[in-house]
Structure 1
């Protein structure tokens, strides 16, 4: 009898062991269909759970077979409970979609800091534009990310060409060349290739945009004195999906954009293809274009290979070809003849590859290998002047993430090359403007959590730049959570930038009259910066409130500036400033949410000063001291969305003595009607007050065949209305 009982007990225990099965899920945004990292997946009755990874996947091993109630929750999304019966019928993860509930973007995993931490746990102040905002902005401006970034809080647009329609942006008042733009951690848009980047990068394949303000060279090397922007793309999903966006503006703009995502077994694919055109358009009737003629084609395929549950390999490629023509409208539409012959034409080609391997090891350790190759060519004709060049750059990185108790440390090494060769015929008596830069870097960073409510981050990077020598770049940040509703951050770091001739000032002149740098006299630019902020969040009745107050300070040494004595002659010759540039200020962000109504406002005060030219105002040119952003959205999910936006840019000096541009408001309205499950219709009006610089002054002056252009501080295109059709197949 005892033997029989023992046998039955063993059989029962085997039955319990056998009657268990893993639960695999993929969680994504219900509207945008993008994967959601950081979602909490819990089986309350069993008290077990997990969080989704960067690809929106979560695995719960050893779950008893039979029916299970699983709860999915993430800040910014409504909680959802789903019934599953285990074992699952397929080895593919079950798809679960969450409905957005607010503009708050807590709970997402950020990639720019390399440690794969959730945003609320990162000591560095990072702003994330998530799927909801990206979806809205891509409906308003599907051709590029210029609107997406220049309407973000604390970022100010700078219009750099009256003919090409180019736009740059300033973070904390500093020139656009001091901000590093990354794509999935690859620095693909630096130097010569940064000139047209904002107006050539489409947003439809982006999952989120991460913005770090303040010196960030310790993270990714040079170019990040003012901060960095990391564009994070979507990854393949188990259910194949095709998103198509058709857009038409009333001023001759047309966009056709398509994005495909799918995964079968060990292979995944994403594919972005865009075709954007714009008709040459003269808004104010002066005979010169305010919107250039544009033809842009982009193709971006990415192939993913999931070797096993712990190793992912992907290979991506980007190809973009654009022709952008502005100037005398008659010369563009017909033929240059007589006095009507001034044309500014940009022809650019952008090609790049990205290769990455992520290998997870025991204990959460991750080995990451990256490599990218990038080629950018651009030919500029500005009247009778020409400039052409080719940039070829590479980036290679090996890093190792090591979680150990209260620490998350990452170590790595990078090799960066940046070679520029001018292909224009050399001007007699002038030095070539070519350069060849190689940079070798080592970095280490540790996120240490000594207390449950305290996180410290310390990092250091050492770069050897072959032309300008060694740079040691420490960085330190701290996060203290004083309860569930208050968080304080503070940090600082060092930055540097290897000098080049590519800046907003030279872009405005189409590189005409720009002299080569003298490597024997020009030094690298260096900086030190501090940032601090406090976040308060909670509920007042049914009203959700998030308030963030930040302060910043940057001191830029050896700033590369044009010789003021030569600028009136149309010549730009760079030299290092004799004294520093300082930028300090305050930024206030407020988010309110009650049921379907959301409100956001951001005010930025920027005091950016130069101390080297006493003949000019101390305030840096093209910097508004005061900038205000207002956004209101009312949405009924799966039905409709209404949005109102407004930005105020205060007066700014224009680099011509005491002359100032006036302050102005830009107001826009959007309405979207959704017809689930396959399409929605969007009507959008930008700048409905029709604010244009040409309403305040004549921008084009001088002879028709050899025109001159005033510095730009406001848009030229005025009111633009568009209608977009979004299809999900």
Structure 2
């Protein structure tokens, strides 16, 4: 009997211990953006237990003893938190933990543009990330589009392409905007015909971050990425529903109403962006021609998420933007009966996105995605008329395979691009094209040593009608210590010819001839990039310094035939010799408590060798560009920012004439009155720099004007007041 009682006591004790142990479930988010954080360490040091959060920011520690437990939650780039949880937890819902970004916020950021889902400090490719704070600031300044966001980014130069439509393009490493690929969550939605107005039609309020890769990136995403790529990453649904509303008014007749909702209930999640933007036509210079066009734009972007299981997520999205723009001779714009030149744009942009992510075990992830995009635009420029529709599709399947020290991505994609002019114009010689691209790609990030990572990639595209392209890419990351890292890499690129560029946008496609597909070759490139980054801390001062150099050689460049151009006709041909772009970029970031300082200097030397009668320097490229930004913030109280950019003189493509160098200075203040309410006051270009103060932009008569090339803004000083509400 004695042994029986001992056995029963041990059995009950074991049962009690089993009951006393339960799992700890945690969901980790960024405190500011409310987005899930993968790769965060969740540990109970006293028990030797630990786990890392998955792609949805969730981690589970099994078999934790009952009672209070001290849990440590931390990640590079975020302040570590030590919390006490009492187990067992009530219900199955995970405990919510929000981490505050540390001063060097770019550390710990997970980037998507390289396809591997790695943290930015572990990626061999040099990537710049514009994070939540920069996006919030720029959305307060220009809620209607991301043009201001990229204008003040380092190494990116804006190019104003139309005095009448207000369109703007961006040059990376001195190359034309058509060589930069613009992505939305990895979908190429803004190429070809739809590229002309894309940057001034994308609202930033629903963006989580913007990723910029400079240099040849065609091996990652195919053509159009010769100079680099910009990936816009959208916000995902959050466990706690949230509604952001932004109301904005400028003193020059601009008005914006923007709202963004995010939330998740059970297996369903939703994000919804809705914007209404208007701008009154304004003649700032007093020459009777508009310097700010009349704009009416509406955008709706819903995305529905279905969390099929913990390992599988499906989402479907729709983007619809309808916009009208009008500019030109003000009296004719106000009264159609008055004679005078006007330019009127009507554009309709519709795109769908469908994406499935499923974890197959052993950290393998299968991603399947598809998009369909329709872009229609009609341009009436004086007596000329241009209209067409671009229908494009993109389908891709890829598999992420982590294996030991390797993170490999394999996949394939099909892209179609079909442009058709209207029947009325087609009779005079349509500039239609129909392209199909079939691609296979592979990429491997190999962590050779603890401090050495190599990345090798290869893409093979068959592009109809321009043939086969093999695009290798190689990068290396070496961490020379805790505070020093070096990157170097290079790759090949290509672009199929189209008539759509910054130059043809400036002339509203008037007298632009169809391409001779049989007689043209695709543009190809080879590029090299290298940089060194120093990070450290001196007492309370955080320091980050990055020095980069770059070189790109562009062959078979698509250029207008000089003989035809002299007669007013633009007919494209391949250049007989290359274009080269080389330079250096220096970025310095300092942070202490609530004060942040950033400066970036870029030297760009772009040259052509095919036309000895013109200067070697390419037009519309400033050799010297400087960006200065200072922000002081008292958390949950106020923010004050000062920004300045210097654009050096640039050759304008008219003999040896150069535009003047100029400074653009701005100041922004934001006062937070309550957790859900803040007011922003902003003044851009308070020196009132305008090209029309340097020289007349409009020449000729109101009925038959000619326009000088643009290199500086026309709108001058612009002040705005924004009201931000978070519910």
TM-score, length-normalised on structure 1? 0.97
CA distance in 2, matches of 1:72, 1:720: 44
1:535 is aligned to 2:536: no
Specify the SS of the correspondent of 2:503. Answer: helix
CA distance in 1, matches of 2:35, 2:470: 39
Tell whether the 8 Å contact from 2:621 to 2:651 is kept in structure 1 after alignment. yes
CA distance in 2, matches of 1:44, 1:138: 42
Question: Where do 1:32-71 residues align within 5 Å?
Answer: 32-71=33-72
**2:495 corresponds to which residue?**
497
- The alpha carbon displacement at 1:37 in A equals 4.1
Higher mean alpha-carbon deviation, 95-104 vs 128-137, is at 95-104
Per-residue CA deviations over 1:440-466 (Å, capped at 9, x if unaligned) read 000111111121111111110000011
- CA separation of 1:722 and 1:57: change in aligned 2, threshold 3 A: farther
**1:115 corresponds to which residue?**
116
Specify the SS of the correspondent of 2:79. Answer: strand
CA distance in 2, matches of 1:88, 1:331: 71
- CA separation of 1:2 and 1:532: change in aligned 2, threshold 3 A: farther
Specify the SS of the correspondent of 1:218. Answer: helix
- The alpha carbon displacement at 1:497 in A equals 0.5
Backbone CA RMSD of aligned residues:
1.6
Question: Where do 1:398-477 residues align within 5 Å?
Answer: 398-423=397-422, 425-426=424-425, 430-477=428-475
**2:126 corresponds to which residue?**
125
CA distance in 1, matches of 2:450, 2:653: 50
**1:220 corresponds to which residue?**
221
- CA separation of 1:708 and 1:246: change in aligned 2, threshold 3 A: same
Higher mean alpha-carbon deviation, 715-724 vs 7-16, is at 7-16
**1:397 corresponds to which residue?**
396
Specify the SS of the correspondent of 1:569. Answer: coil
1:387 is aligned to 2:386: yes
CA distance in 1, matches of 2:338, 2:254: 29
CA distance in 2, matches of 1:699, 1:54: 52
- The alpha carbon displacement at 1:499 in A equals 0.6
**1:676 corresponds to which residue?**
674
CA distance in 1, matches of 2:663, 2:60: 49
- CA separation of 1:588 and 1:53: change in aligned 2, threshold 3 A: farther
Tell whether the 8 Å contact from 2:78 to 2:108 is kept in structure 1 after alignment. no
**2:337 corresponds to which residue?**
337
CA distance in 2, matches of 1:338, 1:148: 38
Q: May I ask how many residue pairs the two structures share in their alignment?
A: 726
- The alpha carbon displacement at 1:369 in A equals 0.4
Specify the SS of the correspondent of 1:361. Answer: strand
**2:376 corresponds to which residue?**
377
- The alpha carbon displacement at 1:330 in A equals 1.8
**1:27 corresponds to which residue?**
28
- CA separation of 1:402 and 1:342: change in aligned 2, threshold 3 A: same
CA distance in 2, matches of 1:234, 1:59: 24
CA distance in 1, matches of 2:389, 2:543: 49
Per-residue CA deviations over 1:7-53 (Å, capped at 9, x if unaligned) read 44444344334333333333333344344444443333334334444
Question: Where do 1:473-488 residues align within 5 Å?
Answer: 473-488=471-486
- Structure 1, unmatched stretches of 5+, are none
CA distance in 2, matches of 1:135, 1:53: 27
1:149 is aligned to 2:147: no
- The alpha carbon displacement at 1:130 in A equals 1.0
Specify the SS of the correspondent of 1:425. Answer: helix
Specify the SS of the correspondent of 2:518. Answer: coil
Question: Where do 1:180-199 residues align within 5 Å?
Answer: 180-199=181-200
Tell whether the 8 Å contact from 1:293 to 1:324 is kept in structure 2 after alignment. yes
Tell whether the 8 Å contact from 2:244 to 2:261 is kept in structure 1 after alignment. yes
- The alpha carbon displacement at 1:75 in A equals 4.3
TM-score, length-normalised on structure 2? 0.97
Tell whether the 8 Å contact from 2:78 to 2:105 is kept in structure 1 after alignment. no
**1:596 corresponds to which residue?**
594
**1:208 corresponds to which residue?**
209
- The alpha carbon displacement at 1:54 in A equals 4.3
The partner residue of 1:716 within 698, 708, 714 is 714
- CA separation of 1:722 and 1:154: change in aligned 2, threshold 3 A: same
CA distance in 1, matches of 2:474, 2:7: 62
1:367 is aligned to 2:366: yes
- CA separation of 1:59 and 1:684: change in aligned 2, threshold 3 A: farther
Tell whether the 8 Å contact from 1:336 to 1:342 is kept in structure 2 after alignment. no
Tell whether the 8 Å contact from 2:386 to 2:425 is kept in structure 1 after alignment. no
CA distance in 1, matches of 2:450, 2:95: 34
Tell whether the 8 Å contact from 1:667 to 1:688 is kept in structure 2 after alignment. yes
CA distance in 2, matches of 1:504, 1:168: 7
**2:684 corresponds to which residue?**
686
- CA separation of 1:82 and 1:570: change in aligned 2, threshold 3 A: farther
Question: Where do 1:498-577 residues align within 5 Å?
Answer: 498-577=496-575
- Structure 2, unmatched stretches of 5+, are none
Per-residue CA deviations over 1:53-99 (Å, capped at 9, x if unaligned) read 44444443443333233333344443333332233334333333333
Tell whether the 8 Å contact from 1:288 to 1:329 is kept in structure 2 after alignment. yes
Specify the SS of the correspondent of 1:105. Answer: coil
Tell whether the 8 Å contact from 2:331 to 2:338 is kept in structure 1 after alignment. no
**2:301 corresponds to which residue?**
300
Question: Where do 1:171-182 residues align within 5 Å?
Answer: 171-182=172-183
- CA separation of 1:454 and 1:103: change in aligned 2, threshold 3 A: closer
Per-residue CA deviations over 1:592-629 (Å, capped at 9, x if unaligned) read 11111111111111111110011111111000111111
Tell whether the 8 Å contact from 1:37 to 1:53 is kept in structure 2 after alignment. yes
Question: Where do 1:273-284 residues align within 5 Å?
Answer: 273-284=274-285
Tell whether the 8 Å contact from 2:306 to 2:314 is kept in structure 1 after alignment. yes
Tell whether the 8 Å contact from 1:420 to 1:435 is kept in structure 2 after alignment. yes
- CA separation of 1:328 and 1:103: change in aligned 2, threshold 3 A: farther
Per-residue CA deviations over 1:376-417 (Å, capped at 9, x if unaligned) read 000001111110000000000011111111111110010100
CA distance in 2, matches of 1:51, 1:137: 33
CA distance in 2, matches of 1:18, 1:587: 61
Higher mean alpha-carbon deviation, 296-305 vs 418-427, is at 418-427
